[in-house]
Chains A and B, each alone.
Chain A
Amino acid sequence: MRIVYALVLVAGLAAVVADHLSSPSSARAVSPEDFAGACAPCGAPCPSARKK
């Protein structure tokens, strides 16, 4: 199990670093709720907005 963990840790960190270096970044970390019209932590719209 230790070997599996070591592999997962190395692969996971490598993926995060690679993703970070190859993707754009916001000026500050954001969550989907920061965007206009978001009505849930995942950024789903409000029922009232869907009816319009």
Chain B
Amino acid sequence: MSTTTLTPAAEFPRLDWPFLIAAVLGAAVLVALVALDGQPASAALLILGFGLGAAFLKAEFSFTAAWRRFLVNGEAGGLLAALLLIAVAACVIVPVAALVPGFGGAIAPIGPSLVIGAFVFGIGMQLANGCGSGTLYTAGGGSGRMLIALALFIAGSVIGSLHLPAFLALGGIDPILASNHFGAWGGLAVTLASIAAVALAIVAVARSRRAGFKPRPPIVIGAIVIGALSIGVFLAGHHPWSVTFGFTVWGAKIASFLGADFSAAAFWQWPGPKRALAESILSDTSSLTDLGMILGAMAAAAAARPFARTALPPARSLLAAALGGLLMGWGARIGFGCNIGAFVGGVASGSLHGWVWFAAALGGCMIGIRLRPLFGLTRD
């Protein structure tokens, strides 16, 4: 006599066809819209974003958890994988941005605004349990908790856009770009050397705390794939991949629809934001990759398991997601981006602000980790 045990995998189909089809169809509609406008680069950004969402989800690539493991236990594998990702991207971004007209790196002023924004972002990412890219791919991947974080991230970034001019008035210095001082290839050498130096310091910390520092193979593969895709985003968009400006534009467009007036806001009078608010969001490079990423993560999640079947976590955890999202949104706008736009994009461009952002955000993470138990979240 044979018996059949009903496992959770057998209870539900492995493929979640409705959400898989919806995600692919949604991406196809957006690609068709920009293709009809004769914008192949925009179509490429949507498709690359789709690939990034799938890659992040499949590799479970997480800046937030990696930073937390390093700060709490000294485990450095995830952090080193992130540096590998940046090194891969830098090999193309630094020389192309320096040598090819029309291309540029991710730069930002260095001053109080950068430090304060990154620090607040670091607190938020530990409370929300995800950074800019993490929020996108987990929200797209079916986490209702991160859907709340994303909504508050968007709201926070609009509030931050209204505060940024006042924070810039606190002072600062112009961006410092390695290629401006050492040339294209010298700048690349300095950038890779700085990444190697930080990696060695991280390994030394891990060893001193008797923690592991070898990244798991799937994370290494994920870092290389994400690094390659971010190069594709750079080549299609002419600037390094960024995430959070898209959120700011979405939030401002929603607020405008609801009657808000941004005509007196200094941020929205700068040429870039002003144009972004007036034009289609499919004309904005970060919005294109963001939308692609959400749909890519959704497709990858629905292809692997029943989509969004998990129950919402306790209210305290949802409150942490909301507060974390709000802090990340505000911090990203004041600090010129998130882990992707400021840290990955900045360092991979050879811009000093990327390292300053990293140090300040790491400090914020230490506070965020201490706050996590207040919301019922573990510290590690």
Contact = CB atoms under 8 A, between A and B. Distances in A.
Given A33-B272, A42-B248, A47 B111 contact: yes
13 contacts: A4-B147, A5-B308, A24-B278, A28-B41, A30-B283, A31-B245, A33-B239, A35-B271, A40-B336, A42-B161, A42-B272, A44-B267, A46-B109
B307 A30 contact: no
A31 B175 contact: no
> For chain B, what secondary structure do more than half of its interface residues adopt (helix, strand, loop), or is it mixed?
helix
Nearest to A9: B22
B333 to A, nearest CB: 7
Given A47-B168, A47-B173, A33 B104 contact: yes
Interface of B: 18-19, 22-23, 26, 29-30, 33-34, 37, 39, 41-42, 45, 104, 106-109, 111, 142, 144, 147, 161, 164, 168-169, 171-175, 237-239, 242, 245, 248, 253, 267, 270-273, 275-276, 278-286, 288, 291, 298, 307-312, 333, 336-337, 341-342, 345
B344 to A, nearest CB: 12
A48 to B, nearest CB: 5
Given A1-B309, A29-B237, A44 B270 contact: yes
Contacts of B172: 47
Given A13-B30, A19-B280, 18 more contacts: A1-B311, A5-B144, A8-B147, A9-B22, A9-B23, A23-B280, A25-B279, A30-B284, A32-B272, A33-B104, A33-B239, A34-B239, A39-B175, A40-B108, A41-B286, A42-B272, A42-B273, A47-B171
Interface in A1-33: 1-2, 4-6, 8-9, 13, 16-17, 19-20, 23-33
Given A1-B310, A28-B39, A40-B107, A35 B282 contact: no
Contacts of B271: 32, 35-38, 43
B29 A32 contact: no
B108 A2 contact: no
B161 to A, nearest CB: 8
A38 B175 CA distance: 11
A1 B276 CA distance: 32
Nearest 8 Cβ contacts at the A-B interface: A32-B272, A43-B272, A35-B271, A40-B108, A23-B280, A20-B280, A29-B42, A31-B285
Contacts of A24: 278-280
A52 interface: no
A47 B110 CA distance: 9
A41 B280 contact: no
A5 B16 CA distance: 13
A20 B19 CA distance: 23
B109 A40 contact: yes
A47 B108 CA distance: 10
A5 B272 contact: no
A11 B23 CA distance: 13
